[in-house]
Amino acid sequence: MTIRSQELSANLDSIRARIGAAVLGSGRSPDEVTLIVVTKTFPASDVQILYDLGVRDFGENRDQEASVKSLELPDDCRWHFQGQIQSNKLKSIAEWADVLHSIDDISHARKLNSLVAEKDVFVQVSLDNLPNRGGVLPNLLPDFLEEISALANLNLRGLMAVAPLGEEPARAFSRLKELSDQVVRVHPKAHEISAGMSNDFEAAISQGATHIRIGSQILGVR
């Protein structure tokens, strides 16, 4: 095992232990939480090491990088796009990404629907209510989700959000959980929550997160 393999293995074991403790502390089952390792800016060789360590879900936010990297890894990898979507990149993203976590523009959703036979999506919701930041404003969410649910080729998995800077993450994710509960009453299949990153994933798990996105605490900082 190379030095890099040892480093990634130790970091991954540590994160898995913390996820396990957070899940246990929340009275949930470990199989309710999917770890997405965010591999943006890191080489395919690192992704291969993580694959060999049992990771299958990888997060990327740069189409040009991920479209090449995804071809170098085994077919059973699941690629998650989690960045800001540019309309002119959507066709390429749809070719390699299995799941898109950042749908917040109905025109992007309609275009994606026209490009694919089937695709899993999360709708990004704003937790700071600032219209110039990413995410659908909570008061606009019901109508937005109605439009998404009418697009036959998109599978609405649930909501995605990022905790606002400066706010206690558990408090922010509590609001997300409340929004999710409201969504599920109308869209029962959209019960998943994509939330939590390296610095706040335990708080996200405590508030029902089903998909957490961790990069630096596994791969380091570049």
In angstroms, the CA 8 to CA 84 distance is: 27
* Confidence at residue 101, expressed as pLDDT on a 0 to 100 scale: 98
Position 141 pLDDT exceeds 80: yes
Orientation of helix 141-149 relative to helix 106-115, angle to 10°? 10
* Confidence at residue 120, expressed as pLDDT on a 0 to 100 scale: 98
How sure is the predictor about 1, in pLDDT bands with cuts at 50, 70 and 90? Answer: confident
Looking at 53-124, list the stretches that DSSP marks H as alpha helix, in order from N- to C-terminal side. 63-69, 90-96, 106-115
How sure is the predictor about 221, in pLDDT bands with cuts at 50, 70 and 90? Answer: confident
* Confidence at residue 65, expressed as pLDDT on a 0 to 100 scale: 97
Q: What is the pLDDT of residues 2-17, one digit of tens each?
A: 999 999 999 999 999 9
* Confidence at residue 129, expressed as pLDDT on a 0 to 100 scale: 82
How sure is the predictor about 34, in pLDDT bands with cuts at 50, 70 and 90? Answer: very high
* Contact of 106 with 112, CB cutoff 8 Å: no
Position 133 pLDDT exceeds 90: no
- Please state the rounded mean pLDDT for residues 90-94: 98
Burial of 5 (0-12, 13-18, 19+ CB in 10 A): middle
- Please state the rounded mean pLDDT for residues 158-164: 97
* Confidence at residue 135, expressed as pLDDT on a 0 to 100 scale: 96
Domains of the chain: 3-219 (3.20.20.10)
* Contact of 92 with 69, CB cutoff 8 Å: no
